[in-house]
Amino acid sequence: MQPGKRKLSAQDVTDIVRSFLDLKVWWAGLHYGPIIYFDLGDQVRGAPFRGEADITGTGYLGIWAYDWRIDVAGEGITSGETVERAFMETEVIEIVRGQEIARFALAEDGDEARVFFTNDVCVTVRYDPQSDREDGDLIHIHVPDGRMIFFSKQNGFYLSGDIDETLLLYWRAKGNDA
């Protein structure tokens, strides 16, 4: 593990994310390929992207893996193999809008992590040795005070030594301490 990083348990991650009140999903989308994301909390104008200001959440959950699936009540509704932008931005957003992340879980072998929302939605992310780099971060979590948490096969869940400056500045502007 690199300097500045700190290993976390799934319960540690859950506690950090749940410590921020009203961190509810307001948008879900598809970056490119099978990479999906969920914006949470308040809307914040971020750094310019393609010449326009990027609107993001004060919280962010990104699934940067190839092998993932979304289940509702145990039934798969989409996956990294079948995902389509229109489905993420219509069907999935209607299922998760207004929901909070309830908890995180990690398989004992470290090959699988799960993100549970408050309405029986589960996103399962599996390390795929054919597609994912072992040291690549498969889950990205940004919380309102600028902290960034990642999950990789090699490191499990860990707190990055880096800070999301846009979120930190917004956090401070609202009168909070870093």
How do the domains of the chain map onto residue ranges? 6-173
Task: Provide mean pLDDT across the span 115-135.
Answer: 87
Instruction: Please report the pLDDT score of residue 52 as a whole number.
Output: 54
Instruction: Please report the pLDDT score of residue 91 as a whole number.
Output: 95
Question: Looking at the predicted structure, is the pLDDT value of residue 44 above 90?
Answer: no
Grade residue 16 by pLDDT with cuts at 50, 70 and 90.
very high
Q: For 120, list phi and psi in degrees, rounded to 5.
A: 70, 25
CA distance to 47, 92, 175, per residue, from 109 (Å): 37, 29, 42
Q: What is the pLDDT of residues 130-178, one digit of tens each?
A: 877 766 899 999 999 999 999 998 889 999 999 998 888 888 988 887 6
Show the CA angle centred on residue 137, arms to residues 37 and 161, nearest 5°.
100
Task: Give the span between the Cα atoms of 164 and 158, in whole angstroms.
Answer: 15
Task: Give the span between the Cα atoms of 132 and 126, in whole angstroms.
Answer: 9
Instruction: Please report the pLDDT score of residue 46 as a whole number.
Output: 62
Q: For 4, list phi and psi in degrees, rounded to 5.
A: 90, -15
Q: Which residue has the higher pLDDT, 56 or 103?
A: 103
Instruction: Please report the pLDDT score of residue 48 as a whole number.
Output: 47
Radius of gyration of the chain (CA): 15
Distance of CA 36 to the CA centre of its chain: 9
Task: Provide mean pLDDT across the span 109-127.
Answer: 93
